[in-house]
């Protein structure tokens, strides 16, 4: 009996002693933490994707509380979370439109190959071997470094060997963009569906020879656009999303099918037809006008 009591007493005392020591230590080694940090951390996406540029969600929360990062720093969490964080921080969030990642290449199997690459399945490694297996110096290598980087399962390599983004799942964290050695992945407004699927800055024949789907900088789209939203800059068509209204006229005149959604031959034909008719109508109108004036 005495044995039991002494055992309980000794272990109890030991536990109490260690507890007291820990209590003292916790005061000495106390880390002053802003309570807002916990609250902000709770609102972040929690994927530790690193898309914000800080080491994990805790780092991002600390940066937001310190005022180094904007309240919208966490793209994956979305505008609702940004608003909630803004409330914690006592600011109002400038909530922007939802954006998604987009791969600016549609080459893949349509792009000319210089050699068959059989090395490590990593895009960065592939670019180190004689500047990559593709003739095109801008094209997607399709080895899936972005797929690996995506924490949300939103990237995959499409059937034509080019990375594609699942826009439903994409949170615009842009971890894929950081992983892409060709810098092909850009952030675009999710609502704007018209996008140029090429970054090849070569012009005309040079671009044509490296890829069947390359933008050749011909400028047809630029002339077609009624809103002055698409321009050929550095040999590549690029869209100003402040002006684009999703009318898709540029897709219908692109001779290289480099603008998504790619218009089918029928659609293109139909558009040509309409244009022809419009031109004729305009001609007739012009011809009719002088006679009207005479009367």
User: Could you give the CA distance from residue 33 to residue 38 in angstroms, rounded to a whole number?
Assistant: 9
Burial class (CB in 10 A: 0-12, 13-18, 19+), 35: exposed
295 touching another protein, by CB under 8 A: no
Decide whether 7 or 279 has the Cβ nearer to another protein. 7
Q: Which range of residues in 15-23, 149-157, 166-174, 194-202 is near another protein by CB under 8 A?
A: 15-23
Residues near another protein (CB under 8 A), total: 21
At closest approach, how far in Å is the CB of 137 from another protein? 25
Let me know: does 75 contact 50? Beta carbons within 8 Å. no
Which residues, other chains included, contact 73 with Cβ-Cβ below 8 Å and sequence gap of 6+? 52, 54, 60, 63, 64
At closest approach, how far in Å is the CB of 18 from another protein? 4
Query: Which parts of 112-131 interact with another protein (CB under 8 A)?
Result: 120
Let me know: does 75 contact 171? Beta carbons within 8 Å. yes
153 touching another protein, by CB under 8 A: no
Decide whether 47 or 95 has the Cβ nearer to another protein. 47
66 touching another protein, by CB under 8 A: no
Decide whether 62 or 263 has the Cβ nearer to another protein. 62
Residue 111, helix vs strand vs coil: strand
Query: Which parts of 17-56 interact with another protein (CB under 8 A)?
Result: 18-19, 21-22, 25-26, 29-31, 55-56
At closest approach, how far in Å is the CB of 70 from another protein? 23
At closest approach, how far in Å is the CB of 149 from another protein? 14
219 touching another protein, by CB under 8 A: no
C-alpha pair distances (Å), 101 with each of 70, 178, 189, 227: 20, 11, 9, 24
Burial class (CB in 10 A: 0-12, 13-18, 19+), 24: exposed
Bin 87: left if φ > 0, else alpha if -120 < ψ < 50, else beta.
alpha
Decide whether 18 or 115 has the Cβ nearer to another protein. 18
User: Could you give the CA distance from residue 188 to residue 260 in angstroms, rounded to a whole number?
Assistant: 13
User: Could you give the CA distance from residue 289 to residue 113 in angstroms, rounded to a whole number?
Assistant: 57
Decide whether 120 or 245 has the Cβ nearer to another protein. 120
Both tokens of residue 243? 């002006």
Decide whether 147 or 198 has the Cβ nearer to another protein. 147
Taking each helix axis as running N to C, give the angle between helix 35-43 and helix 56-66, from 0 to 180 degrees, rounded to the nearest 10. Answer: 120
Decide whether 55 or 96 has the Cβ nearer to another protein. 55
The one among 39, 47, 58, 178 contacting another protein by CB under 8 A:
58
At closest approach, how far in Å is the CB of 190 from another protein? 33
At closest approach, how far in Å is the CB of 4 from another protein? 10
Binding region for another protein (CB under 8 A): 3, 6-7, 10-11, 14-15, 18-19, 21-22, 25-26, 29-31, 55-56, 58-59, 120
């Amino acid at each position: 009996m005495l044995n039991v009591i002494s055992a309980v007493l000794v272990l109890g005392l030991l536990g109490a002693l260690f507890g007291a020591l820990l209590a003292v230590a916790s005061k000495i080694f106390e880390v002053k933490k802003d309570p807002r940090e916990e609250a902000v951390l709770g609102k972040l996406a929690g994927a530790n994707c690193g898309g914000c540029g800080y080491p994990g969600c805790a780092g991002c929360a600390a940066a937001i509380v310190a005022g180094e990062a904007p309240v919208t720093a966490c793209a994956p969490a979305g505008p609702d979370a940004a608003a909630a964080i803004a409330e914690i921080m006592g600011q109002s969030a400038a909530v922007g439109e939802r954006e998604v990642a987009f791969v600016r290449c549609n080459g893949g199997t349509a792009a000319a190959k210089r050699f068959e690459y059989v090395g490590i399945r990593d895009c960065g490694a592939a670019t180190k071997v004689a500047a990559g297996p593709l003739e095109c110096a801008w094209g997607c290598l399709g080895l899936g470094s972005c797929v690996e980087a995506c924490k949300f399962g939103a990237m995959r390599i499409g059937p034509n060997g080019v990375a594609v983004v699942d826009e439903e799942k994409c949170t615009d964290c842009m971890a894929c963009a950081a992983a892409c050695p060709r810098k092909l992945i850009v952030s675009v407004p999710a609502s704007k569906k018209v996008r140029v699927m090429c970054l090849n800055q070569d012009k005309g024949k040079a671009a044509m020879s490296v890829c069947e789907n390359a933008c050749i900088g011909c400028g047809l789209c630029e002339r077609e656009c009624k809103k002055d939203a698409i321009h050929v800059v550095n040999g590549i068509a690029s869209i100003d999303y402040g002006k684009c209204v999703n009318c898709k006229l540029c897709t219908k005149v692109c001779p290289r099918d480099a603008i998504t959604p790619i218009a089918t031959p029928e659609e293109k034909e139909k558009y040509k037809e309409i244009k022809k008719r419009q031109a004729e109508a305009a001609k007739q109108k012009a011809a009719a006008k002088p006679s009207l004036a005479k009367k």
